[in-house]
Amino acid sequence: MLTIYSDKHRLQHGKAELIDGTLKPCFETPSRADMVLQEVRSRGLGPVLEPQAHGLAPVLRVHDAGYVEFLQTAWQRWTAMGRDYDALPKMWQIRRLRAAIPQHVEGQLCYYSMDCGTPLTAGTWPAITAAADVALTAIDQLAAGQRGVFALTRPPGHHAARDYCGGYCFFNNAAIAAQSLLDRGAKRVAILDVDYHHGNGTQDIFYQRDDVLFLSIHGDPATEYPFFLGFADEHGEGAGLGYNYNYPLPAASSVAMWFATLGTALGEIRRYAPDALVVSLGVDTFEGDPISRFSLTSTDFLRLGEQIGGLGLPTAFCMEGGYAVEPIGLNAVNVLEGFSMHQ
């Protein structure tokens, strides 16, 4: 299987995130992608290609222009005030506050953010545009006839909505990939999100559409991040009604329960009969993950890949979460190898 990878991911290296009431070193670190790449190479998964530049047009197909402009200019505007440290928001536009977009960069940072775990840094813009190019180059390869391609995207993307960042995500790489498939002639695309956390951003982007089926298996938002989306009764809206499937599971769910739920989700994908599949590949469902509470073992990830491969669809994998850094490579590449058993 081909892997698409850019070193530019290292430019996003936040110093701290607010978690458990204190600023702690970011869980989402460059070493995550380094470990995955190392495993891709040592296991001989296949060639590793640099991404091609695709410009902002495919990004603007799924993200709000004002939001994209904010991300592009925020660091310069933030540092122009004499600040040389990462930008984090400090308030949110919650119930009964005005939804007007502030003029000041600090207000805009609050307006366009979901949480304060997602530092905007000097290297955020080059890193996120490179990650979008990684996802789009994976789609180039699918269009050229590859059956499965691995987009080693970092930072991850599935918490990024049409017009906000959060959960370490700025551009929604999987959504950009799915939209690109449609723009190249696919009629229907499915996105399967297997990260421990609900893919709230992806759901937000496609919630009113029937040309993208979105399915997410995740920790129940009643107790798990991102808390405010990802419940089982969110089915889509308007033309999108019936094209959004959430499978929230209690935090301590068994591996058997997780795979039974995967079976249900794969059944929905088969019924939808998409032209292609995008997988939001988070491996924070791993038993040793420091911020998640499912208990998949490394061997279970092989099985996950095999079952996805059994769909027989052209498939792009976009890397999402996974914070047990040492085994992240083993777990991610196990999914890809499991998938490849069907090729």
Given the complex with Zn ion, which of 284 and 300 has the nearer CB atom? 284
Nearer to Zn ion, 190 or 324 (CB): 324
Q: Which stretch binds Zn ion (CB under 5 A): 95-103, 141-149, 238-246, 281-289?
A: 281-289
Which residue's CB comes closest to Zn ion? Answer: 321
Q: Does 17 bind Zn ion (CB under 5 A)?
A: no
Q: Which is nearer to Zn ion, 17 or 195 (CB)?
A: 195
Residue among 45 and 217 whose Cβ is closer to Zn ion: 217
* Inter-CA distances, 213 with 106, 153, 169, 268, 278, Å: 36, 21, 21, 9, 10
- Assess contact for 93 and 110: CB atoms under 8 A: yes
Map residues 169-198 to x or -, x wherever contact with Zn ion holds by CB under 5 A: --------------------------xxx-
With binding defined as CB under 5 A, does residue 168 bind Zn ion? Answer: no
x/- site string to Zn ion, residues 310 to 329, per CB under 5 A?
-----------x--------
The secondary structure element, H or E, covering residue 76 is helix 65-79
Looking at 199-207, 254-262, 276-284, 297-305, which segment touches Zn ion (CB under 5 A)?
276-284
Q: How far apart are the first and last CA of the chain?
A: 10
Measured from the CB atom, the residue of 39 and 195 that comes closer to Zn ion is 195
Least Å distance between CB 124 and Zn ion? 19
Residues 6+ apart with CB under 8 A from 33: 5, 9, 10, 152, 154, 319
Q: Which listed residue (9, 54, 63, 159) is catalytic?
A: 159
User: Is 319 within 8 Å of 151 (Cβ atoms)?
Assistant: yes
Any idea which residue has 């600040």 for tokens? 83
Is residue 4 within 8 A of residue 134, CB to CB? The reply is: yes
User: What SS3 class is residue 71?
Assistant: helix
Regarding 224 and contact with Zn ion (CB under 5 A), the answer is no
Work out whether 219 is an interface residue with Zn ion (CB under 5 A). Answer: no
Q: And the tokens for 269?
A: 């994908």
Q: Is 159 in the active site?
A: yes
Going from the C-alpha of 276 to that of each of 43, 142, 180, the distances in angstroms are 26, 9, 11
Pairing of strands 148-151, 315-319: parallel
**Per CB under 5 A, 163 contacts Zn ion:** no
CB of 224 to Zn ion, least distance (A): 9
Q: Which stretch binds Zn ion (CB under 5 A): 13-21, 129-137, 208-216, 279-287?
A: 279-287
Taking CB under 5 A as the rule, does residue 226 contact Zn ion?
no
155 preceded by a cis bond (ω within 30 of 0): yes
Q: Which residues bind Zn ion (CB under 5 A)?
A: 195-197, 282, 284, 321
Looking at the annotation, which residues are catalytic?
Answer: 159
